[in-house]
């Protein structure tokens, strides 16, 4: 057995296959078990005394000492039995994390593999399984062997937890997703969620780019994590909205009920119901305040509510929702603050006319002349 591999194993830095090799070596003989117990004891002492270092020569010396025939056989059998029991306990402590941990992925690299287009796209690994031209899609992973789309279409499910699924929602579309654990996710326009077909290990981990509303299925022992480019949210079971905007380099979350935690600039922050958290990557600043959560989650029910929000921000949301470009002919209106409640089931023109009436409540004004609308192809 290589000394370097044993050291990496003790440091918990080796891969799963390497951990299996160490496990096989330990089980090969009672001497190996005894050597491992000695190594682990030394490693524990080193952890308490950072000035000491475990090197290859030290590992080699311990293995040689244990294998040297200096102990009488009748005593050796008893020691070997004790070492075997101790090794079994220590193996659980050391090996279990290797086989139970959530693999680390380069999610940003996976986002680059999403094919361009106006269709809702579902991928398993690098394989595109579905391109849907519909305005919305309901995707359900609760069945063991199949993914159900819009209650009728069945796609074979790859149940390997290491194979990630990617659901991409382009501008102008929305989707509802039920994960394998029963967690409900609403994905807004221009959003992508990366997740496994089946959860395994001690963490249920997903990655979000864009905006989503989560209704997380409670689990006493397995926490749920939403990773993003800027922050990671941890939760046991709750309802909350998350938005990640890479153009403005802004992260936002609002909690409906339950409790969520995330890493703040200086400490771990816990968000309470009806609280809104915003973080700016550009300025490295963060803020928490009380809000009306309905203003932040109304989009999932086909409404867009806003209160004293800049016109520029409202227009940007509508551009994503409808996959359009809107240019106001008078740029000064972009800085105006507006309050309203728009029905997103209306056409873009109808919605914009209502918005213009909120902006300039003049019944004699031809509002269609206030803006130019272009539909993206």
For residue range 290-321, what is the model confidence (pLDDT) as tens digits? 999 999 999 999 999 999 999 999 999 999 99
Residues 121 and 152 in one domain: yes
Q: Which pLDDT belongs to residue 30?
A: 81
Domain endpoint, select from 295, 315, 333: 295
**Within 10 Å of residue 102's Cβ, how many Cβ atoms?**
16
Closest by CA to 81, choosing from 19, 30, 42, is 30
Domain endpoint, select from 81, 100, 119: 100
Domain endpoint, select from 74, 100, 126: 100
Residue 72: Cβ-neighbour burial (10 angstroms; 0-12, 13-18, 19+): exposed
Would you report the helix, strand and coil content of the chain in percent, each value rounded to 5?
35, 35, 35
Q: Do residues 233 and 226 make contact, with C-beta atoms less than 8 angstroms apart? A: yes
Predicted TM-score (pTM) of the model is: 0.73
Q: Which pLDDT belongs to residue 50?
A: 47
Residues 236 and 161 in one domain: yes
Q: Residue 187's beta-bridge partner residues?
A: 175, 212
Residues 184 and 248 in one domain: yes
CA dist list (Å): 219 to 207, 238, 261: 19, 11, 16
Q: Which pLDDT belongs to residue 361?
A: 82
Q: How confident is the model at residue 123 (pLDDT cuts 50, 70, 90)?
A: very high
Q: Which pLDDT belongs to residue 236?
A: 73
Q: Which pLDDT belongs to residue 12?
A: 67
3-state secondary structure of 63: helix
**Could you report how far apart the first and last alpha carbons of the chain are, in Å?**
61
Residues 313 and 269 in one domain: no
Q: Do residues 130 and 121 make contact, with C-beta atoms less than 8 angstroms apart? A: yes
Residue 62, pLDDT > 70, answer: no
CA dist list (Å): 351 to 320, 336, 377: 13, 18, 20
CA dist list (Å): 186 to 21, 117, 179, 297, 343: 43, 20, 11, 10, 18
Residues 173 and 284 in one domain: yes
Residue 243: Cβ-neighbour burial (10 angstroms; 0-12, 13-18, 19+): buried
Among 30-39, 183-192, 208-217, 225-234, the range scoring the smallest mean pLDDT is 30-39
Contacts of 203 (CB under 8 A, 6+ apart): 102, 222, 223, 224, 225
Residues 255 and 307 in one domain: no
Q: How confident is the model at residue 139 (pLDDT cuts 50, 70, 90)?
A: very high
For 95, the domain range is 3-100
Q: Residue 134's beta-bridge partner residues?
A: none
- The total number of structural domains that make up the chain: 3
């Amino acid at each position: 057995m290589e000394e370097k591999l044993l050291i990496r194993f003790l440091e918990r830095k080796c891969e799963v296959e390497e951990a299996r090799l160490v496990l096989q070596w330990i089980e090969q003989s009672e001497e190996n078990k005894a050597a491992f117990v000695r190594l682990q004891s030394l490693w524990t002492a080193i952890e308490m005394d950072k000035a000491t270092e475990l090197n290859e020569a030290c590992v080699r010396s311990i293995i040689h000492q244990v294998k040297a025939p200096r102990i009488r056989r009748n005593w050796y059998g008893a020691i070997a039995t004790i070492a075997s029991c101790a090794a079994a306990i220590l193996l659980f402590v050391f090996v279990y994390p290797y086989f139970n941990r959530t693999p680390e992925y380069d999610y940003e690299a996976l986002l680059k593999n999403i094919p361009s287009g106006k269709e809702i796209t579902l991928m398993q690994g690098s394989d595109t399984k579905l391109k849907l031209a519909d305005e919305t899609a309901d995707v359900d992973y609760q069945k063991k062997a199949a993914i159900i789309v819009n209650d009728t279409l069945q796609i074979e499910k790859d149940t390997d937890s290491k194979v990630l699924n990617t659901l991409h929602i382009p501008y102008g579309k929305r989707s509802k997703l039920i994960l394998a654990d029963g967690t409900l996710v609403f994905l807004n326009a221009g959003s992508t969620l990366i997740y496994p077909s089946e959860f395994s290990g001690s963490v249920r981990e997903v990655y979000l780019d864009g905006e989503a509303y989560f209704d997380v299925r409670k689990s006493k022992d397995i926490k749920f994590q939403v990773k993003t480019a800027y922050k990671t949210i941890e939760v046991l079971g709750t309802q909350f909205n998350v938005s990640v905007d890479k153009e403005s380099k802004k992260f936002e979350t609002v909690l409906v009920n339950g409790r969520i935690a995330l890493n703040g600039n200086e400490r771990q922050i816990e968000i309470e119901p009806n609280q809104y958290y915003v973080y700016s990557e550009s300025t490295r600043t963060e803020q928490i305040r009380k809000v009306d959560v309905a203003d932040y989650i109304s989009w999932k029910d086909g409404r867009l509510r806003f209160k004293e929000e800049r016109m520029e921000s409202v227009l940007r949301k509508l551009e994503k929702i409808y996959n359009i470009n809107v240019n106001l002919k008078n740029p000064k209106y972009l800085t105006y603050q507006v309050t309203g409640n728009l029905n997103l089931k209306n056409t873009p023109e109808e919605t914009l006319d209502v918005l213009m009436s909120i902006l300039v409540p003049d019944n004699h004004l031809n509002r269609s002349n206030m803006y130019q609308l272009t539909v993206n192809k």
